[in-house]
Structure 1
Amino acid sequence: MKYLTRLALAGVAAIGFAAAAHAQVLSFSTPPQGSVWNTMASVISGQARGSADMRLVVQPYGGNAQMMQAVDEGLAEFSLNDVNDVITAVSGTGEYDTPMPNLRVVARVNPFPVGLYVKESSGLSHVSELAGRSVPSGWDAFPIARSHISAILAAGGLSWDDVDQVPVPELIRGSDDMASGRVDSAFFAVGGPKVAEIDAAVNGVRFLAVEANDETLASIRQVRPAFYFSEVTPAPVRVGVPEPMMFVTWDNVLVAGAHVPDAQVQALLAVLFDEREAIAGAYPPLGALNLETAYKQYPGVEYHPGAASFFEERGVAMTTD
């Protein structure tokens, strides 16, 4: 399986190298189209092409492991990911059996609230009500979801033993299976385009509420140390959020490979923060971009030296909380 993955990645690299004969093409590795990270990368890449003349393209992969492998092995330059997943990838723990030492954090992009959502017609409103109901499991092509759903269930006072586990391979299929009735709930990030698509298809969806308190905070941090709770308020882009709700959240980070020159990292950071209004106009969740909170310390990962220099030049000190 690993051999096939490497072969596929090598094929993508060959295409990139051919294009580089004319001009250097940089790539953004992401999950499949329809995912939040793919959408975010597409918006950022489009802005980089338009305002900084960067030849940046988006390359979808089957899941986190493949997209992190592409960056680690120098087959892609940038990616977006949950900082927890980057930490485990670098150390070769969790879902990663081989360390990926060439991953570097570039910036904290935004808080990333995630949840389980259901059809409005189900009558469910809280995660605790999923006891005895079906929840997507397995996630062979998107294993990061296992820890996220574990935390969401814990925040509802449940464990995997309390629910009916229905295997799904990845995000998009999981939502489609919920729409078809194969599974009662689906997992996605708040603001994901797929959630809006399913909402229209089934005449309404809603995210399930969790209990956010000291006890459940301790529970979710046993799953991943960088999880926390954040409040999300209703907005047109936040389909399925009918009132202010608390969500399991992580910090979404921009990642680069150690092979990426400092100048390219700095050029992309300049686009992110100097063109923030245009980027947020194209995708409102990216309005959370904040230069003052983008340089945050995380355990077990290093910042790209180009990013460290960028923040130093902008007078931004590293934060620790």
Structure 2
Amino acid sequence: MRRLARPFLIASLPVCLSLATTLEAREIELPRTMAWTAYGTNSSGYAQAVAIGGMLQKEYGTSVRVLPGDNDVSRMTPLKNGRVQLCACGIASYYGAEGVLMFANRDWGPQPLRVLTTSSATFALSLAVAGDLGVKTPEDLKGKRIAYIRGDDALNKGTEAFLAFGGLTWDDVTRVDYPGYARSFDGIIAGDVDASFTTTVTPPAQQLASSPRGVTWPVLDPNDEAGWQRMKAVAPYFQPLKATSGAGGISPDTPVDSASYPYPIVVANADLDDNTAYGLVKALQDNYDSYKNSAPGAAGYAADNQDMTWVVPFHDAVVEYYKEIGTWTDEMQAHQDQLIKRQNLLLDTWKTFTAGDTPDDEEAFAAAWMKTRAAALTEAGFTPVFE
């Protein structure tokens, strides 16, 4: 089914094209069937994907099959293998694009990923700190016992970023290892550890808030430029956020200055059909009112919630859409060009690296790749971020 494009403007983004130069609107052309991967069936990401699928079925006759994945690799493998067109992923999509952490192995390496859209919510991603310690800012975490979750790179990187905001590292705190995320919160309640990384709305944070220890969230001053620079040097995907929902009394009346990054991040491979990429992003905006209340967090897909200068490049057809509606700026294009240049450099470096002699041992392989990767990025004037 096809629908003619309707005029649409994003009020909060600067208009870079005059009406005389705005591109002619295209029709929406979507395939009859689409397959996505997403988080598990009890996640908000899965519920959002299903809600979007319902809208696409109703408005365009497109049937969407959503495949739940238990972990980052299981969600991204079908995308890599071409079994699905899209992944409603988490921040691991950025790690995949960079070829780091769980993707720094011979089966993966950097992936040619492109963003179609993201969802931004009202909750923060932060360190939940026991409320009986008097912690007010990340600096106050010095000497505290901080949870480290074995096998969860995203959570541990988030913790490292919050410590960096306060000018701290793991050497400034007592690291307490846990086999799983939920166990770390049991540890806080039991008095065995003091903080663990999470979202402000997650059930474990609510449980901590109801416990005798209570919960507090370190405040990130949005005007602390040095703090934000340190944080972004560790994890450049974090963005300032005034959280208005969460455990411990966070609300629109009592917000907390904190940080967040989009979830889900809907990504595809760079070679996704242009009509599909363009059609999806346009359909999401044209029909926003019909699905925004259909699942928790679905309102986060609003056009003015999209960060057009983030850390993963957008699909070319998505750029075309934002040019069409007159909101794509020269600054955005320059940023996009640099991200694509970085991605192509990583892909070329990986190709050369894997064509040569590489260690058989997986840890040695990853170490050699990370060294080669960092050298190539540095030589080209990019910051490696991960070393």
TM (normalized to structure 1)? 0.72
Contact 2:128 2:200 in 1 (8 A): no
Identify if the C-alpha distance between structure 1 residues 168 and 259 changes in structure 2 by more than 3 Å, giving closer, same or farther. farther
Distance 2:50 2:205 in 1: 18
Contact 1:119 1:202 in 2 (8 A): no
Unaligned stretches of 5+ residues in structure 2: 1-31, 336-387
Instruction: Describe how 1:198-217 pairs up with structure 2 within 5 A.
Output: 199=209, 205-212=215-222, 213-217=224-228
Aligned CA RMSD, in angstroms, stands at 3.6
Match of 2:172 in 1: 162
In our comparison, the structure showing a higher alpha carbon Rg is 2
Identify if the C-alpha distance between structure 1 residues 313 and 186 changes in structure 2 by more than 3 Å, giving closer, same or farther. same
Unaligned stretches of 5+ residues in structure 1: 1-22
Match of 2:67 in 1: 59
Q: Specify the SS of the correspondent of 1:254.
A: strand
Residue range with higher mean Cα deviation, 186-195 or 223-232: 186-195
Name the structure with the higher strand share.
Answer: 1
Q: Specify the SS of the correspondent of 2:261.
A: strand
1:131 matched to 2:142: yes
Match of 1:12 in 2: none
Identify if the C-alpha distance between structure 1 residues 295 and 163 changes in structure 2 by more than 3 Å, giving closer, same or farther. closer
Identify if the C-alpha distance between structure 1 residues 290 and 137 changes in structure 2 by more than 3 Å, giving closer, same or farther. same
Distance 2:41 2:67 in 1: 10
Match of 2:77 in 1: 69
Distance 1:260 1:247 in 2: 35
Matched letter for residue 269 of structure 2: G
1:178, distance to aligned residue in structure 2 (A): 4.1
Instruction: Describe how 1:116-155 pairs up with structure 2 within 5 A.
Output: 116-120=127-131, 124-140=135-151, 142-155=152-165
Matched letter for residue 215 of structure 1: A
Match of 1:102 in 2: 112
Distance 2:67 2:179 in 1: 20
Tell me the number of residue pairs that the alignment of Structure 1 and Structure 2 aligns.
292
Q: Indicate which of 69, 75, 93 corresponds to 2:100.
A: 93
1:65, distance to aligned residue in structure 2 (A): 3.6
TM (normalized to structure 2)? 0.61
Matched letter for residue 72 of structure 2: N
Q: Specify the SS of the correspondent of 1:281.
A: coil
Distance 2:85 2:183 in 1: 27
Identify if the C-alpha distance between structure 1 residues 203 and 221 changes in structure 2 by more than 3 Å, giving closer, same or farther. closer
Q: Specify the SS of the correspondent of 2:292.
A: helix
Match of 2:236 in 1: 225
Distance 1:230 1:249 in 2: 6
Matched letter for residue 76 of structure 2: M
Distance 1:152 1:297 in 2: 22
Contact 1:178 1:184 in 2 (8 A): yes
- Report sequence identity in percent: 19
Instruction: Describe how 1:1-321 pairs up with structure 2 within 5 A.
Output: 24-30=33-39, 32=40, 35=43, 37-49=45-57, 51-81=59-89, 85-97=92-104, 98-110=108-120, 113-120=124-131, 124-140=135-151, 142-169=152-179, 171-172=181-182, 174-175=184-185, 177-179=187-189, 183-192=193-202, 195-196=205-206, 199=209, 205-212=215-222, 213-232=224-243, 234-235=244-245, 238-240=246-248, 241=250, 243-252=254-263, 253-258=265-270, 260-283=272-295, 285-292=297-304, 294=306, 296-298=308-310, 301-318=312-329, 320=332
Q: Specify the SS of the correspondent of 2:111.
A: coil
